Amino acid sequence: MVSKKKKKYSSGEGAQFMTRKAALKKLQLSLKDFRRICILKGIYPREPRNRKRAQKGAGGIKTLYHTKDIKFLLHEPTIWKLRDLKVYQQKIRRARAMREYGQMKKWLRDYPDINIDHIVKERYPTFVDALRDMDDCLTLCFLFSTFPSLQRVPRDQSMMCRRLSVEFMHAVIAAKALRKVFVSVKGYYFQVEFEGQTITWIVPHHFAFQPQSKDEVDFKIMSTFVEFYTMMLGFVNFKLYHSLNLVYPPKLTAGFTSDNDKDLVDEQAYVSERIAAMNLSLARVAGSNEAEELPEIDLFSTEDEDPQKLEEAKLEAEKVKKLKTMFKGLKFFINREVPREPLVFIIRCFGGEVSWDKDHFVGATFDETDESVAYQIVDRPSMDKQYLSRYYVQPQWVFDSVNARTLLPINKYLMGAVLPPHLSPFVDKTKDQVYIPPEERELNDPNFKPLDDDSGTEIEEASDEDAEEAEEPDSDDDETALTKQYQDEIKEDTSDDDGEGDDETDAEKKKLKKEKKKAMAVTTGVTHKEHPYQKEIEDKQAFRLREKLVRKKHRNLYKSMKAGQETRKKEIWLLRKKRRLHEEKIKEDKKVEKKNQKKEAFENATASV
């Protein structure tokens, strides 16, 4: 029986991939609805290994999706809701065109809502899965919480982002889960830890909103992402509040109630309300206590136990325990020129109390005249009225203290002082190729000298080599003395043996004895010094031979790894060059300033004469 010939592209990559046009035809959706359902379900375009086969021989570059993903969308009930929405939109447009306003109101009243609860549960089966994917969610929600009412961003959506972001910050404060902070040009970076999962997000600086044109930013796409993220963040907040024995939804200030959401138009009033809400403690579930502290780490014996790693984990747990109560019992007063929101959030996370001028902002808990205030955070060169019972520090002291996990000395952060560099705590310690600035190296190693680090190492190496060379002659003299003594003993034995024997057996025995002694004799060794340049050449040749042993299927991966190493090396070199040029410029400026001062002093002296 003759087998039927298989059609081209019916198997392999030709059958595994589908173009976007074919996907729209299969799902019977418009491009706008297809994008929306793909965002909600987490389906994205794929890159094939062989594009020509995946595109069934067609040229050009097309957007491709996995066929199994498109078939998966066929069973999604939200697609039927999207089709219903299209029907309602056509009815509303027809009623408006026919001026049937009563009918139009009826269709608007019965307009169906899309519920995506099941999609959140489907994409994140467990709570830990949701926490792992919270970085983008929080960054986008905090960004949308700063937006006013826009054409493509619904007002209700931005207000929902505002409420959910404040709820999440309250959960972080209650759990004392904040670990790292950093201030950059983009905004404030925060990193928290929940159930062993680290979550990092950015809170943008509070500036006046500048609308972007549609060509630069597609707000409709971003709004669709936020639609899913708000639902996801609501679930996470609900779970966090219940695990912390807090009442959900929390009772926040009047600015966050559903009645006043649309009335609160003034952005500055909203920000004041949000910061005031963060300065209040939340209601707990009746009969519950505060969240208990985690017990000490139990050290279990395992097959591959590493005592150093266990000790590091124990030290890390102790540092985190101290960090949680770093500001406990301390009162902070914030001046009006200081950005209040990040500082209130940080201080409250570590057990501190914070307040501000009640004449300018709502939500103040104590006055500036309170004698129990330990630190006043200012960002100005001087103040007319100062209290002797408190320290006046700049805002960077709070951020650096959190990253150092201890209260840093305030002498470098006093009012009007030139601040030390604000170092990023988000450094991957597992990477061997990382640029470490001199200030960070100085913090880690007190003996480090930024100017003489290279020369110091060379001096140490040279001194070690001299010591080794000094020791070598003594060892050679000892060896030669021992060999001479041993050879003298052998000569004495041989002379005694020659005078004695006529017996043949004794002579043979003596001969064997001599041979054994000669074999056991110690000869003077010759020191062999390796040429460093020659050794380097040999090492490179051996490395090239090892590279040739890499299998063919792993060769491209190895090449990409080497390319990555080279790019990182280049980046480190560029950063060091930037730093060197910056320091040279500072030195030149100082020289010019000193010269001008001397010139000024000379002119003043001559004028007085």
- pLDDT (tens digit per residue) in 89-101: 999 999 999 999 9
27 located within any domain? yes
Write the DSSP symbol of residue 241: H
Instruction: Give yes or no for a contact between 192 and 198, defined as CB atoms under 8 angstroms apart.
Output: yes
Calculate mean pLDDT across residues 406-413.
Answer: 89
Pair 105, 149 in one domain: no
Pair 145, 105 in one domain: no
**Coil vs helix vs strand at 73:** helix
- Which is more confident, 278 or 188? 188
Residue finishing a domain among 426, 455, 478: 426
Pair 152, 35 in one domain: no
Angle, alpha carbons 431-437-441 (nearest 5°) = 85
522 located within any domain? no
State the pLDDT confidence band at 137, using cuts at 50, 70 and 90. very high
Residue finishing a domain among 385, 411, 426: 426
Q: Which of 446, 278, 412, 414 is nearest to 347 (CA)?
A: 278
Query: How many domains would you assign to the chain?
Result: 4
- Measured from the Cβ of residue 265, the count of other Cβ atoms closer than 10 Å reads 9
Here the tokens at position 428 are: 């991957």
76 located within any domain? yes
Q: What Rg, from alpha-carbon coordinates, does the chain have?
A: 38
459 located within any domain? no
Q: What is the pLDDT of residues 29-80, one digit of tens each?
A: 999 999 999 999 999 999 999 888 898 888 889 999 999 999 999 988 989 8
93-102, 274-283, 340-349, 480-489: the lowest-pLDDT one: 480-489
The parent domain of residue 361 ranges over 325-426
> What is the rounded distance in angstroms from the CA atom of residue 183 to the CA atom of residue 188?
5
Pair 105, 127 in one domain: no
User: Is the previous residue joined to 295 through a cis bond, with omega within 30 degrees of 0?
Assistant: no
> What is the rounded distance in angstroms from the CA atom of residue 329 to the CA atom of residue 373?
10
Query: What does pLDDT average to over the chain?
Result: 81
526 located within any domain? no
491 located within any domain? no
Calculate mean pLDDT across residues 20-31.
Answer: 92
Pair 90, 141 in one domain: no
175 located within any domain? yes
Q: What is the pLDDT of residues 211-231, one digit of tens each?
A: 666 567 788 888 899 999 999
- Which is more confident, 207 or 135? 135
123-132, 282-291, 343-352, 572-581: the lowest-pLDDT one: 282-291
Pair 238, 339 in one domain: no
Instruction: Give yes or no for a contact between 173 and 180, defined as CB atoms under 8 angstroms apart.
Output: no
513 located within any domain? no
Range list of β-strands (E), 147-227: 178-183, 187-194, 197-204
Residue finishing a domain among 426, 460, 491: 426
Pair 93, 189 in one domain: no
In the predicted structure, residue 574 carries a pLDDT above the cut 70: yes
What CATH number should be reported for the domain holding residue 359? 3.40.50.10190
Pair 340, 224 in one domain: no
Pair 130, 43 in one domain: no
Calculate mean pLDDT across residues 269-294.
Answer: 67
Pair 126, 229 in one domain: yes
Instruction: Give yes or no for a contact between 127 and 151, defined as CB atoms under 8 angstroms apart.
Output: no
Pair 408, 333 in one domain: yes
Pair 37, 105 in one domain: yes
